[in-house]
């Protein structure tokens, strides 16, 4: 019997998605959306059109494998036609890496789309993930369409060796599944998750856990109390 391997997404690729900039044209401005942040200009636009959800979608480069400009444009036109058939209002944009090394991906911000339709379109155009805004808080999140790949012991050990020395002891104590999410986390957040002694409650902290799930809103101290009450110990 042939075993069919289920697709997974590497932590490095998820990290790249999280660090990317998702630009959208709103009126005369180009607004950058970033994963794990709240965007107030987006909230204002959503209120203007009286919607509570939005998804940033593309049909370009299926499974993050580079296609020609012509192939991407054909696929993107089909995506726009699908959004028209759903009677979904959308704004044009481009997704790009922060260093501007890769060609930008033509994209759209679909306003008022349901999560089910956004997932359907992401799957139809073979995307590993899409950007989702689920309510008027304006929190920008990443929705994966496949599980994260769990690193091998060798890959985990190599990653830990490249961490600053004060973070290595904590990294050695967590499971490979948790480590995978940390490997997919922006470097600037690693101190927060692996070195709780460095927490400064006068400073903003991540709005999402390493696995991308939202932490909720409120004061910094309120969030800490919520974490303790919920027994969330894995990353802190």
Q: Convert the pLDDT of each residue in 80-117 to its tens digit.
A: 999 999 999 999 999 998 877 788 999 999 999 999 99
Q: Which helix (H) or strand (E) holds 124?
A: helix 115-124
Of the candidates 38, 14, 21, the residue with the CA atom closest to the CA atom of residue 94: 21
Q: Give the count of beta carbons closer than 10 Å to the beta carbon of residue 231.
A: 7
Worst-scoring range by mean pLDDT, 31-45, 47-61, 71-85, 91-105?
Answer: 91-105
Distance CA 225, CA 236 (A): 13
Of the candidates 161, 218, 224, the residue with the CA atom closest to the CA atom of residue 192: 224
Worst-scoring range by mean pLDDT, 45-59, 76-90, 148-162, 195-209?
Answer: 195-209
User: In the predicted model, is pLDDT for residue 179 greater than 90?
Assistant: yes
Percent of the chain with pLDDT over 70: 88
Distance CA 129, CA 107 (A): 13
- The mean pLDDT of the chain is 88
Residues contacting 24, CB < 8 A, separation 6+ = 30, 31, 33, 42, 56, 91, 92, 93, 107, 109
DSSP E strands in 69-140: the ranges are: 89-96, 105-111, 129-133
What is the pLDDT at residue 235?
45
Q: Give the count of beta carbons closer than 10 Å to the beta carbon of residue 96.
A: 18
Of the candidates 218, 216, 170, the residue with the CA atom closest to the CA atom of residue 196: 170
Residues contacting 1, CB < 8 A, separation 6+ = none
User: In the predicted model, is pLDDT for residue 234 greater than 90?
Assistant: no
> What are the tokens at 112?
């008022």
Cα angle for residues 125, 13, 61 (degrees, 5° grid): 30
What is the pLDDT at residue 170?
93
What is the pLDDT at residue 232?
46
Of the candidates 4, 18, 2, the residue with the CA atom closest to the CA atom of residue 128: 18
Task: Decide: 140 and 129 in contact? Cβ < 8 Å.
Answer: no
Could you give the count of Cα atoms lying within 13 Å of 94 in the half-sphere of its Cβ? 10
Distance CA 179, CA 182 (A): 5
Distance CA 115, CA 137 (A): 16
Q: What is the mean pLDDT of residues 158-178?
A: 95
Distance CA 42, CA 32 (A): 9
Question: In terms of pTM, does the model score above 0.85?
Answer: yes
- Banded pLDDT at 68 (limits 50, 70, 90): very high
Q: What is the mean pLDDT of residues 23-40?
A: 91
At 25 the three-state DSSP class reads strand
């Amino acid at each position: 019997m042939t075993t069919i391997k289920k697709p997974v997404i590497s932590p490095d690729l998820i990290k790249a998605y999280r660090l990317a900039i998702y630009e959208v044209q709103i009126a005369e401005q180009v607004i950058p959306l970033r994963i794990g942040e709240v965007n107030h200009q987006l909230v204002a636009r959503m209120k203007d059109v009286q919607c509570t959800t939005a998804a940033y979608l593309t049909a370009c480069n299926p499974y993050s494998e580079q296609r020609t400009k012509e192939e991407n444009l054909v696929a993107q036109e089909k995506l726009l036609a699908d959004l028209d058939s759903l009677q979904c209002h959308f704004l044009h944009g481009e997704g790009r890496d922060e260093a501007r090394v890769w060609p930008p991906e033509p994209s759209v911000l679909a306003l008022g789309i349901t999560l089910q339709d956004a997932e359907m379109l992401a799957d139809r155009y073979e995307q590993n993930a899409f950007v989702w805004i689920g309510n008027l808080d304006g929190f920008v999140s990443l929705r994966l369409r496949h599980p994260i790949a769990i690193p091998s012991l060798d890959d985990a050990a190599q990653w830990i060796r490249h961490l600053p020395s004060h973070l290595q002891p904590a990294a050695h104590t967590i499971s490979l599944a948790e480590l995978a999410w940390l490997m997919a986390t922006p470097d600037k957040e690693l101190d927060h998750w692996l070195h709780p002694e460095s927490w400064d409650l006068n400073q903003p902290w991540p709005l999402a856990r390493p696995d991308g799930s939202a932490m909720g809103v409120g004061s910094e101290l309120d969030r800490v109390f919520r974490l303790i009450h919920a027994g969330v110990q894995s990353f802190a």
